[in-house]
A and B are shown apart, each in its own frame.
Chain A
Amino acid sequence: MMGDQLPEHPDFLWRNPEPKSSYDAVIVGGGGHGLATAYFLAKNHGMTNIAILEKGWLAGGNMARNTTIIRSNYLWDESAAIYEHALKLWEVLPEELEYDFLFSQRGVMNLAHTLGDVRESMRRVGANKLNGVDAEWLDPQQVKELCPILNINDNIRYPVMGATYQPRAGIAKHDHVAWAFARKCDELGVDIIQNCEVTGFVKDGNRVTGVKTNRGTINTEKVGLCAAGHSSVLAEMAGFRLPIQSHPLQALVSELHEPVHPTVVMSNHVHVYVSQAHKGELVMGAGVDSYNGYGQRGSFHVIEHQMAAAVELFPIFARAHVLRTWGGIVDTTLDASPIVGTTPVDNMFVNCGWGTGGFKGTPAAGLTFAHTIATGTPHELNKPFALERFETGALIDEHGAAAVAH
């Protein structure tokens, strides 16, 4: 069921054009969000004279470093709406992009280990159902039936007392997602420009009119920032601040194994999340490092902690070997929700603050951000996620509520 499903990798998916002297819009950041934004700008708004600038190689930042989990079981209405819209897009995108990126709706379980967890989880199941998100509460026996390798004994420090379950959730091959968007962007005329680092912005008064890069200055009418961990660095170049803190978040994979792990299991309380990749690696993630960092590597004790949690929950992992670890830089906000919308600079827009959950939001981030860039106004779904919420106090506080800590 696994490796033999991988699609052949086509030879050429996109051109590598030289940057033109001007574009109608420039997207900074060639990761999933930047690619999705450009795709929806072209498809939904007819803007095809646009460029994506990527300082490294396409989708080599957080898009290459995430744990590929897709779900929409968020607590608050605003979050449920945008992530559920993303999930609905994930369900149709393989056909729309004509590229099978192996979206596997194998379900996501979020374990509860304390009475507090149980109550909070049941509350979230109720909230999900009210928002049209598929959600169920499972008792320990049902958990065991869905994922037989899980240890549900009650003699461990944090026994499994049940779980929330979202059957439509799952995983997708992140690289293939990026390539699928990139190929369609290219077909629609979007210039994908790699190895092009933004070094500053050109402004006329308070209006952005161009982007300075290591490959020359590019004039543009609109700029969309999709740079995840480096958003506040770009904002500083443009002359404004963002309520963002960048932290290293690391993940790891084991060597390849036969199919043993049929779903995605997450635990907020002991903090580990595990799925099995199509090829067979066990993919695991946990929390961010507590301190600010741009180093794309994380602390060893974080790995130690997540491994201890994983082995207690999945005793058969005790003899699995770690193949590699890596880190990405996530941009966190104080309410653990993203910022998608306008900025204090005219014609400059920002999509950032997705923290540890950016991959699952990719299609909705692209769709709503493209709407905002094209029209200058928020989409109904990203309206609550405006920068102004930190001033008005209308926060969307998903810390601890979103089924896993950010």
Chain B
Amino acid sequence: MLLISCPNCGSRDETEFHYGGQAHVAYPENPNELNDREWAEFLFYRDNTKGAFAERWLHSTGCRQWFNMLRDTVSYEIQAIYPMGAPRPDAAAPARESGTASLAADSTTTGTAAPSTATTSIAASTSSASTTAPEGATK
């Protein structure tokens, strides 16, 4: 079972969460101009990465907020957790190491000790993530 560190509530069991599929899939900017092939891509085609995969999760039985997670689909290691709308952290860069370390300490609940750029931005933008419309969250 995954132990997921919710940016708002701290580490909770996977059973409290709902999986939302691939992150960073933007709604088409000009829907009227899409052909059938492009609609198919938007509706049905998602990456199916073997390795680091950016995906959306909802803390459905907790704060009921969406957030993004970078997770390895082979080892299931959670590499980073970051707000909706924030760019995907680079899993291979040094930021990944500090990001992983910060999750272990559950620092995201206070937002004071997060050493990585990824988790610091979670603490700073938690409220904005819930008030602005994050990309793809409402469809």
Interface residues of A (CB under 8 A from B): 230, 232-233, 241-246, 290-295, 299-301, 333-334, 390-393
Taking CB atoms, residues of chain B closer than 8 Å to A301 are 1, 13-15
Is B74's beta carbon under 8 Å from chain A? Answer: yes
Query: What is the CB-to-nearest-CB distance from A225 to chain B, in angstroms, rounded to a whole number?
Result: 14
* Bound: A112/B53 CA distance, A: 38
Is B12's beta carbon under 8 Å from chain A? Answer: no
Taking CB atoms, residues of chain B closer than 8 Å to A290 are 18-19
Contact of B75 among A233, A242, A295 (CB under 8 A): A295
Taking CB atoms, residues of chain B closer than 8 Å to A393 are 36
Q: Are A246 and B18 touching (Cβ within 8 A)?
A: no
Query: What is the CB-to-nearest-CB distance from A243 to chain B, in angstroms, rounded to a whole number?
Result: 4
Contact of A392 among B13, B36, B76 (CB under 8 A): B36
Q: Are A391 and B40 touching (Cβ within 8 A)?
A: yes
Which residue of chain B has the shortest Cβ distance to A391 in the bound complex?
B40
Q: Are B50 and A390 touching (Cβ within 8 A)?
A: no
Which of B24-32, B41-49, B86-94, B112-120 has 4 or more CB atoms under 8 Å from chain A? B41-49
Q: Are A243 and B45 touching (Cβ within 8 A)?
A: yes
Q: What are 22 A-B contacts with C-beta separation under 8 Å?
A: A241-B45, A242-B48, A243-B45, A244-B48, A245-B21, A245-B46, A245-B48, A246-B48, A290-B18, A291-B2, A291-B71, A292-B49, A292-B53, A292-B55, A292-B73, A293-B76, A294-B50, A294-B73, A301-B1, A333-B44, A334-B44, A391-B40
Taking CB atoms, residues of chain A closer than 8 Å to B48 are 232-233, 242, 244-246, 292
Query: What is the CB-to-nearest-CB distance from A128 to chain B, in angstroms, rounded to a whole number?
Result: 28
Interface SS majority for chain A:
loop
Which residue of chain A has the shortest Cβ distance to B69 in the bound complex?
A291
Which residue of chain B has the shortest Cβ distance to A235 in the bound complex?
B48
Q: Are B76 and A295 touching (Cβ within 8 A)?
A: yes
Which residue of chain B has the shortest Cβ distance to A290 in the bound complex?
B19
Which residues of chain B from 47 to 69 have any CB-CB distance to chain A below 8 Å in the complex?
A: 48-50, 53, 55
* Bound: A371/B15 CA distance, A: 44
Interface residue count for B (Cβ, 8 Å)? 27
Which residue of chain B has the shortest Cβ distance to A297 in the bound complex?
B76
* Bound: A245/B22 CA distance, A: 10
Q: Are A294 and B74 touching (Cβ within 8 A)?
A: yes
Taking CB atoms, residues of chain B closer than 8 Å to A242 are 45, 48
Q: Are A299 and B36 touching (Cβ within 8 A)?
A: no
Q: Are B73 and A295 touching (Cβ within 8 A)?
A: yes
Question: A233-B50, A299-B1, A391-B37 in contact; A293/B44 too (CB < 8 A)?
Answer: no
Given A290-B19, A291-B71, A292-B55, 4 more pairs with CB closer than 8 A: A245-B48, A293-B73, A295-B75, A391-B39
Which residue of chain B has the shortest Cβ distance to A231 in the bound complex?
B48
Q: Are B19 and A291 touching (Cβ within 8 A)?
A: yes
* Bound: A230/B50 CA distance, A: 9
* Bound: A233/B49 CA distance, A: 8
* Bound: A333/B48 CA distance, A: 11
Contact of B74 among A232, A244, A295, A334 (CB under 8 A): A295
Residue among B41, B43, B44, B76 having the largest count of chain A Cβ atoms under 10 Å:
B44
Taking CB atoms, residues of chain A closer than 8 Å to B74 are 293-295
Which residue of chain B has the shortest Cβ distance to A305 in the bound complex?
B15
Query: What is the CB-to-nearest-CB distance from A329 to chain B, in angstroms, rounded to a whole number?
Result: 10
* Bound: A294/B44 CA distance, A: 20
Taking CB atoms, residues of chain B closer than 8 Å to A230 are 50
Residue among B13, B43, B48, B75 having the largest count of chain A Cβ atoms under 10 Å:
B48
* Bound: A300/B14 CA distance, A: 10
Query: What is the CB-to-nearest-CB distance from B15 to chain A, in angstroms, rounded to a whole number?
Result: 5
Query: What is the CB-to-nearest-CB distance from A361 to chain B, in angstroms, rounded to a whole number?
Result: 21
Query: What is the CB-to-nearest-CB distance from B129 to chain A, in angstroms, rounded to a whole number?
Result: 21
Q: Are A291 and B40 touching (Cβ within 8 A)?
A: no
Query: What is the CB-to-nearest-CB distance from A398 to chain B, in angstroms, rounded to a whole number?
Result: 15
Q: Are B2 and A299 touching (Cβ within 8 A)?
A: yes
* Bound: A243/B37 CA distance, A: 12
Taking CB atoms, residues of chain A closer than 8 Å to B18 are 290
Q: Are A243 and B44 touching (Cβ within 8 A)?
A: yes
Taking CB atoms, residues of chain A closer than 8 Å to B15 are 301
* Bound: A85/B19 CA distance, A: 36
* Bound: A230/B73 CA distance, A: 12
Taking CB atoms, residues of chain A closer than 8 Å to B13 are 301
* Bound: A299/B74 CA distance, A: 14
* Bound: A290/B71 CA distance, A: 14
